Amino acid sequence: MTLTAVGGHWDAEVLVVGGGHNGMIAAAYLARAGVDVLVLEARSSVGGCASTVEDLGARFNICHCTHTLVRALPLEEELDLADHGLNYLSSDADSVFAFHDDRDPWVLFHDVERTLCGLAATHSASVDSYRRYLDDALPVARLLIDVLRTPPTAPRLALTAARRRLEGVGRLLSWSRLSAAELLARWFDDWRMTMPAVSIGPTVWGVPPETHGTGLAALTYAIRHLVRTGRPAGGSGALVDAIRSSFEAAGGMVRCDARVATLVVDSDRVDGVRLVDGTRLRAPVVVAACDPAAVLTEWLEGEPPESLRLLADRYRAQQRPQGYESKVDAVMEGVPVPRAADALRSALSDFDPVGHTTVVSPDPSDLAEAHLRWADGRVADRPTLLVDVPSMVDPSMVPAPGRHILSLEVLFTPYGLPGGWSASSEPERWLGIWADRMEPGALQLLLDWRVMTPDRYQQEFFLDKGYSPTWSGSPLRAFVGQPPETTRYRTPLSGLYLTGAGTYPGAGIVGASGRNAARVVLDELRSFQ
């Protein structure tokens, strides 16, 4: 496809700004469709928060390393990712769900019956509740996975629902209006059954589980029974590396260390971008895989064009969240053993919890306090923790014989910590919380460690105030196109599109936003033919 430039040449048919996984996915689909695409990445490498970096003589994932929903999409087949080096490693155990009081952990397996057998040993009173939950939730989860595969519109939802004989559609629409807390309470009266879903749902999104519109977080367990969670061999960044390879094999080009300063607009249509070094790059289409608020406010020179004026004013008026997650990475001499390991081994035959992904949830009152403290610039006493030892599953992540790496994600960490993060002892406290859940001597296993705090996420990954933007609306709002720029991926400015975590379906390693945005852009490019 070739468009004719007015008054000069195009540097590309499409400029994709931002080389995170959604930006690279959009770019790869466009390039494989024959479009001339140039990706501009502000950092020295692509991947964004899906990156794997080298430090302390080891390799660490910037964020969590396990992938679920992205595996529900046909990305691997459509982009030939296996041919470009992607290899997912999986186990039947999805996660160990633990709690700060170290009582009554349980395990979610990909296999439904194994999960139920485990619950019979650890939470026997919840087995029937879990069965009822699955009866209700599995049809909705199947439908949700299907609708992620296309841009969210009411007609497409109708077609997908018709193929499934309307199974689950009523619940999908009604549940999307509810809060996660009230929906999970329909099945479970034990907070140890509900808090893990909250911890990897609304809590990760930075909103309380009582917030209306978070109801589909209740599908967390059901989705993991339908889609096997895995981690890319070599670290989370191996996914983006494979996508980049597929993209470049199709003729696409990546330019790193190319930070965009402004959009260039000509006659109420995008005409490209200008970089911070003054370089101007021309293209009739710009796909911004970045924070929508930054694109629609900070990237505009002077008065916004007429088509963007109201939208820019709306984003300027919004209060933007600050901070949320921090992450400690460590090199260890050996593998720590959880205090609850023996109890789980005894309860669950052929299962060893050592090294598996563990979600440590606070109780409901501690979670409520955590949100209040975060909003007040303080760190939770008992934060939600995501604990992993990636090198136990992936031998390529082993830094040296006998050594392993620890991944400790800590939620409710504000950007504006009193006294600043550089002088804070909080990371040491988090390691202490982690060590208290291990057999004695865990801290002595640590050889060296590093920490990513909100200020570093801002400095190194350009996350404003250390917060990753996320589209946090409900599927119902998406299907009716609200707000249109983040659910239809198209802005009122001709030629300007959005993708990334700030657009539907939101943050996390999902990839649906990039894939959907590419489809929308292709429709526009074809209209020029």
Per-residue pLDDT of the chain (529 residues; tens, 9 = 90+): 445 444 458 999 999 999 999 999 999 999 999 999 999 999 999 999 999 999 999 999 998 889 999 999 999 999 999 999 999 999 889 999 999 998 999 999 999 999 999 999 999 999 999 999 999 999 999 999 999 888 998 888 888 888 877 788 899 989 988 999 999 999 999 999 999 999 988 787 778 899 888 899 999 999 999 999 999 999 999 999 999 999 999 999 999 999 999 999 998 899 999 999 999 999 999 999 999 999 999 999 888 899 999 999 999 999 888 998 999 999 999 999 999 999 899 999 889 999 889 999 999 999 999 999 998 899 999 999 999 999 999 999 999 999 999 999 999 999 999 999 999 999 999 999 999 999 999 999 999 999 999 999 999 999 999 998 888 777 788 888 999 999 999 999 999 999 999 999 998 999 999 999 999 999 888 765 5
Pairwise CA distance, residues 397 & 61, whole Å: 10
Pairwise CA distance, residues 518 & 470, whole Å: 19
Nearest residue to 113 via CA among 140, 92, 89: 92
Pairwise CA distance, residues 150 & 505, whole Å: 11
Per-residue model confidence (pLDDT) at position 475: 79
Question: What are the C-alpha distances in Å from 463 to residues 146, 361, 473?
Answer: 31, 26, 20
Nearest residue to 20 via CA among 53, 43, 47: 47
Pairwise CA distance, residues 283 & 428, whole Å: 48
Per-residue model confidence (pLDDT) at position 528: 56
Per-residue model confidence (pLDDT) at position 7: 46
Task: Give 105's contacts (C-beta < 8 A, 6+ positions apart).
Answer: 96, 97, 98, 99, 122, 340, 343, 344, 353
Task: Give 527's contacts (C-beta < 8 A, 6+ positions apart).
Answer: none
SS3 411: strand
Residue 500 backbone zone (phi > 0: left; psi -120 to 50: alpha; other: beta): left
Beta carbons of 467 and 321 less than 8 angstroms apart: yes
Nearest residue to 327 via CA among 242, 421, 223, 462: 421
Question: 14-86+236-319+469-527 sits in which CATH class?
Answer: alpha beta
Nearest residue to 233 via CA among 109, 24, 61, 57: 61
Per-residue model confidence (pLDDT) at position 108: 97
Same fold across 14-86+236-319+469-527 and 321-465: no
Per-residue model confidence (pLDDT) at position 1: 45
SS3 394: coil
Per-residue model confidence (pLDDT) at position 6: 43
Per-residue model confidence (pLDDT) at position 202: 79
Per-residue model confidence (pLDDT) at position 474: 77
Whether omega before 292 lies within 30 degrees of 0, making that bond cis, reads no
Torsion angle, alpha carbons of 211, 215, 218, 223, to 10 = -130
Question: What are the C-alpha distances in Å from 295 to residues 140, 150, 153, 318?
Answer: 34, 24, 24, 14
Identify the bridge partners of residue 93 per DSSP, sorted by sequence position: 109
Give me the helix-helix angle, 21-32 and 237-249, nearest 10°. Answer: 20
Beta carbons of 110 and 228 less than 8 angstroms apart: yes
Q: So where are the chain's domains?
A: 14-86+236-319+469-527, 127-228, 321-465
> Which fold is adopted by the domain 321-465?
Polyamine Oxidase; Chain A, domain 2 (3.90.660)
